[in-house]
Structures are given as C-alpha cells and as structure tokens.
Structure 1
Amino acid sequence: MSFFEEKNPEMDRYLETHASSEPEMLRKLRRETYQKTTQPHMISGYQQGRLLTIISQMMQPENILEIGTFTGYATLCLTAGMANNGKITTLDVNEDLAYLPRKYFAESDFSGQIDFRLQDAKEFLKETNEMFDLVFIDADKENYAEYFRLIKPRTKSGSVVMFDNVLWYGKVLEENPKQKSTQVIKELNDLIAKDDDFENLILPLRDGVNFLRRK
C-alpha cells in the first residue's frame, strides 16, 4: 500500500473502478501473490499495471528491461505491447520466489519472449551491450542511483525509463534523512532532474513513478 492509498483509499477505489478491467491472468497472479508471499504489497498492482500496459502498447518496444521481477505482475503488463519480435529481460535475485513468476510466464502468450534471469542487475548492466527501448526498475532502493548511471548508456533517443517508489512514502520530503534508501532515492531524483539528456516527470501514482524519456 502506498503513502497516497493510506491517505485516501476511497479515491483509489474510484480510480480502479473507472479504468480498464484487469486481465484474468493478472487477477489470478495478484491473488496468488497475496496468498503465498510475505510482502504482497511489493506487487506493482492494478493501477500501475494499467500504466505499464498502456505505455508498452503505445511504444511497441522491441527490447524491454525490468529490474525487480518479484512475482511477475509488472513483467506481464509490459509484454502486452511488445513488438512481434520483441523480448523482455527481467532480473531478480530471489530464488525462493522464482517458481511463481516462472509459472505465470509459462502460461503467458509471450512465454517465448520472456527472459527471466536470477542475476544481479548491476552485474548484468556492466556486461551487456544491449540497448533498451523501455526500462522499468522496482528493486532494491539503495542501488537506484547506481542503476540510473548504468542504465543511461544502454538507452537511446526515445527510450523510456521508469523508477518506482520514488516518493518513498513521503520520506523524500525529509531534509536530512537517516535511512540509506531515502538518501539514495533523493539522490536519484536529483540526478534525473539535473540530467539534460532526459526529460522527466514524477507521477504521484501509488508511491511515485519517475518517468523519463531520453531526448
């Protein structure tokens, strides 16, 4: 649950009621995530999932990167608009939970286009030569600034990058935060705002999404 949902759950319900319906597979995955994981709030969820789906459908990307798979909800949303020859690489390090996204990826129409890897994202980004059209990051917050630095060379003009949880339950308003994750998220938001190679907007959806487009 986000900072904003806690403040106004009625508005959140209204927003969900007046958006496109959630596909059945995603509904099943969301339900199973709440049944079988200890931190189900980490799932991207309905509203954010609709945003990811629409962006992907508008872009029709050929190469997508996701950092932080969790149970695969956002992954499946991102596949919805992939080009016919497209692929998505999704990275996580949680071996104990890997069975759940694998199950739903296998059932997906895009099963052959999903490359699910149990690999450290920094390691991957330092090794790969791939360029990405669309990138979504929802992983360990203490590495957010480093992810931005490593991802930038892997983007091109028109590439879109999204960082989740960039408002961090409102903690980004703290002037001198003691929590390392808050410090890094503030650093990330500052880095992005000052980078002339990108144009960006922070969307106050759930816990905040920093939405970037490479010029």
Structure 2
Amino acid sequence: MKPRPSIYIDGLESFIDSELVCKPNSVFREMELYAKDKNIPIVTAATGGVLSQIVSFVKPKRILELGTGLGYSTLWMVNGNPSSKIITVDRHEEQAALLDVYAKKMGLESQMDVTRVTGSVFDYLEDEDQWRDFDFFFVDCDKITYPNIFRTLWPKAKKGATFLYDNVLWHGRVLHPDPKKPSDMAVMELWNEVKSQVSEYTLYPVGDGLLFFRK
C-alpha cells in the first residue's frame, strides 16, 4: 500500500503523533509501528486521543465500531470509557484478532466489554435490531461504503445518538476530488448527505479529518 499524503505540512503530523499526543499506554506506540510495517491503515495517534476524549465526555453505554483494523481505535475508546460496551465489526478476522493480543498487553482484557464480529459491515447492519439501540457509532471502514452507511443508520438511530466518521478530509482530496475515484466521490457524497440532513456538525481537522454529529 502506497503511503497516503498527510493534510499537514511535511513532518508535522509525525511530530504531533510522536511528541505531542499523550498516550496512556506504551503499547499504542507498538501498534503504530506494527501498522506501519504491515501497511495496515489506522487512525493517527492524535485522532485516537480526540476519539478517546469524546467518548470520555459522552460516556456512551453502547458503541458500534464499523472497521476494527487491528483494534487501535477500539482501545483508544476503551481508554476513554472502559464501561462502554463495544461491538466492533470487520471482515478481516486474523487482523482484527490482534485487538485481543494488544488488549492483553495493556492489561485491559478483563476490564473492557468488547465483542468482535467478523463479517461484512452491511451484513451486520441488515438486522437493525442489532444496532438501533446503540448510542455511539464510529465509522472507519471502506470509504466507498460511507454514504450508504449514513443512509442506513441516520434515519433509524435513536435520538441523541452520536456519530463519528474518520477520513472525511480524505488526505486532502476533498479539495480536488477525482471523479474517476469511487472513494473520492463517496467521501464527497457523505459530506453532501450530512450537510443536507444534519442541523449541526463539527469537523475536527485532526489526522485525516474526524466528523462529529448527533441525531
């Protein structure tokens, strides 16, 4: 996987993540190095810190994470509120299973309530009884699915539910999206959906852009 460009000037994002982000456990750094070595996309450390703080403020009872990766963002959310029940969905079982490994290294395996689901995001969302009572949704899966995920969740999520989407600046390509790239068009379509249907939203220009809104 070719490294994707940062929305920051050269060197600034790596400096932020290595020198300015308060990481509650050294294992986060280990996960970052593994992800870089194996070309596994994860949120930036700065994004993880913001995600953790939002969870600590909102204190959701039930979180649905779409896109586990290797569990990096999951563990940031656990750090924000260990009492939240988290369901995290990803089709890559071997990769997502690393969440359990790193949770054990952090000493969190007995303190957190996290269930991994292996399979398609849309297969999981087909049964709305599985998710409509969740009060927090974190979306960080295949970008071409973003608009359809919004159209699936937004009408049926309960009032007061919190939504967070990662990669909404899409490595700066929102400035000049390529109509030949489905991922570019999907991120722009998500923005159009949110701007037309959500009365208030906040963009955190951290990492690759984190979009926050509530039902």
| Residue in 2 that maps onto 1:98 | 96
Q: Which has the higher helix share?
A: 1
Gaps of 5+ in 1: none
Question: Is 1:195 aligned to 2:200, yes or no?
Answer: no
Residues 18-33 of structure 1: pairs in structure 2 closer than 5 A:
18-33=20-35
| Residue in 2 that maps onto 1:4 | 7
Gaps of 5+ in 2: none
Residues 1-215 of structure 1: pairs in structure 2 closer than 5 A:
2-5=5-8, 7-10=9-12, 13-14=15-16, 17-35=19-37, 37=38, 39-40=39-40, 42-82=41-81, 84=83, 86-107=84-105, 108-111=107-110, 113-129=113-129, 130=131, 131-174=133-176, 177-196=179-198, 198-214=199-215
- Give SS of 2:70's match: coil
Deviation at 1:14, TM superposition (A): 4.8
Q: Percent identity?
A: 27
How far apart, in 2, do the equivalents of 1:189 and 1:11 lie?
24
Q: Is the 8 A contact 2:90 2:119 kept in 1?
A: yes
Tell me the matched-pair count: 208
- Give SS of 1:103's match: helix
Q: Is the 8 A contact 1:45 1:73 kept in 2?
A: no
Q: Tell me which amino acid in the other structure corresponds to 1:3.
A: S
Q: So what's the TM-score if we normalise by structure 2?
A: 0.85
How far apart, in 2, do the equivalents of 1:96 and 1:14 lie?
30
Q: Is the 8 A contact 2:17 2:45 kept in 1?
A: no
How far apart, in 2, do the equivalents of 1:3 and 1:34 lie?
14
Q: Tell me which amino acid in the other structure corresponds to 2:98.
A: L
**Alpha-carbon spacing, 1:2–1:51, altered in 2? closer, same or farther (3 Å):** farther
Q: Tell me which amino acid in the other structure corresponds to 1:170.
A: G
Deviation at 1:200, TM superposition (A): 0.8
